[in-house]
Homo-oligomer: A and B are copies of this chain.
Amino acid sequence: MILPAVRATRAHHPKPSIEDVAAAAGVSTATVSRAIRGLPRVAQPTRTRILEIAQALGYAASASAAGLATGKTRSIGVVTSSVRHPDYGAAVEGAARALRGRDYSLVLLHLPDSSASPRFPRDLNMLCRRVDALLVLGAATLEKDEIDQLQRSGMPHIVIGLHGEQDDSDLDAATTAIRHLVQLGHTDLAFFHGGLGAQSRNGLLAAVREHRTSALNADGLKLREVRIEDQPGAIRNSRTAFSLLWAEPGSKPTAIVCASDQIALGVLLEAGNAGLRIPEDLSIMGIDGQDLGKSLELTTVIRYSTRRAAEGAQSLLAALEGDRSVTHPALWSPELMIRQSTAAPQGTGRQSLPMPQQKNSKSV
């Protein structure tokens, strides 16, 4: 087994400074600085020579010194409440991707839950002195007053809502999912979710109501909400919830919308146990099913956490570079990704209904 001893090879390589390079090249430090950063006002041959020497010496500017001189750290902070949750992981990856090759580094601040000690004063404030801008992953990652404080601090920042949050994007996603199912002809749906704000719920119900009248022209559309306790054991909770639901007397839903991959997996497993075929006997939809959902061939509504985070980071960078002409990040509407887990309900036969308006999955 690898013995993770700290390797600290006491090398005689005290990192070369800009002066070493300047001396070796026979120029001033100012010229080296310009040459290395690709600024103008350096003769081509000089530049080449300096670059070669720097390379040979293994020179790289000290971030602290440069930062102190410029007042910029050339790094952005990413605040997240999780790195294990695939959604957040995907977002972090997006941010990292946006920074690649831009000579910016990414400082990760992991704030597991908001109940932890007064955090802004310590962690966030400290972070603010190390980064030029902040990308906050998840609308619930920071408390309201923390966001306020951020606002007041004047630090450029963007908050990206992620899965399961009480924001409109969540509602959008659920609506898109339900629309898909309604169009397939389902009239008895269940929505397994991890909790919905009152606002989202109302919006959702409104959306459902709209479909009930305009798409279906029937009041037959039924939507059962089932709350699944998230995080530890979402899968298990979802399994029990499904079993419970199926054990109830009366009619069963013909389709279930799941707020996450985990929940969908629970339903999938338990439906298998119950002898149901997917999608013939039961349609299952996911939301944000990037990794698991894809492997499971789950029809899903995806919201591109990766891309959204990448674009958030890009906006931040653009804002930092003073690019006033920055177009705001495109709003990625939730997009329908039809895979294998949904179909028209058995016996209905109709594959799709005329769409209510000219809305489709791409519409906002």
Contacts and interface: CB of A to CB of B under 8 A. Distances in A.
A319 B6 contact: yes
A311 B64 CA distance: 27
Contacts of A198: none
Contacts of A153: 11, 13, 58
Nearest to A106: B108
Interface stretch (A21-29, A165-173, A184-192): A165-173
Nearest to A317: B6
Interface string A148-183: 001111111111110000011100100000000000
A125 B63 contact: no
A359 interface: no
Interface in A68-116: 68, 73, 75, 78, 82-86, 89-90, 92-93, 96-97, 100-101, 103, 105-110
A288 to B, nearest CB: 13
A279 to B, nearest CB: 15
Contacts of A93: 82-84, 110
A268 B273 CA distance: 12
Contact of A84 (B61, B90, B262, B272): B90
Chain A contact patch, size range: 35 or more
Nearest to A295: B235
A220 interface: no
A65 interface: yes
A155 B122 CA distance: 28
A65 to B, nearest CB: 5
A54 B179 CA distance: 55
Nearest to A99: B110
A344 interface: no
A244 interface: no
Among A84, A126, A151, A328, residue most surrounded by chain B Cβ atoms (within 10 Å): A84
A67 B60 contact: no
Interface string A192-204: 0000000000000
Interface string A254-294: 00000000100110110011000000000000000011101
A83 B96 contact: yes
Instruction: Give the copy number.
Output: 2
Q: What DSSP secondary structure best describes chain A's contact surface? A: mixed
B89 A83 contact: yes
A222 interface: no
B75 A64 contact: no
Contact of A4 (B121, B152, B160, B333): B160
Nearest to A334: B1
Nearest to A147: B7
A1 B331 contact: yes
A117 to B, nearest CB: 9
Contacts of A63: 64, 67, 73, 129-130
Contact of A2 (B9, B13, B159): B159
Contacts of A315: 4-6
Nearest to A331: B1
30 contacts: A1-B161, A1-B169, A3-B331, A4-B160, A4-B311, A5-B158, A5-B315, A6-B133, A6-B156, A6-B326, A8-B154, A9-B152, A9-B154, A13-B153, A15-B129, A58-B125, A61-B129, A62-B129, A64-B64, A67-B67, A83-B92, A86-B89, A96-B108, A103-B126, A106-B107, A234-B295, A236-B295, A262-B295, A268-B269, A269-B269
Closest 3 CB pairs of A and B: A64-B67, A11-B154, A235-B295
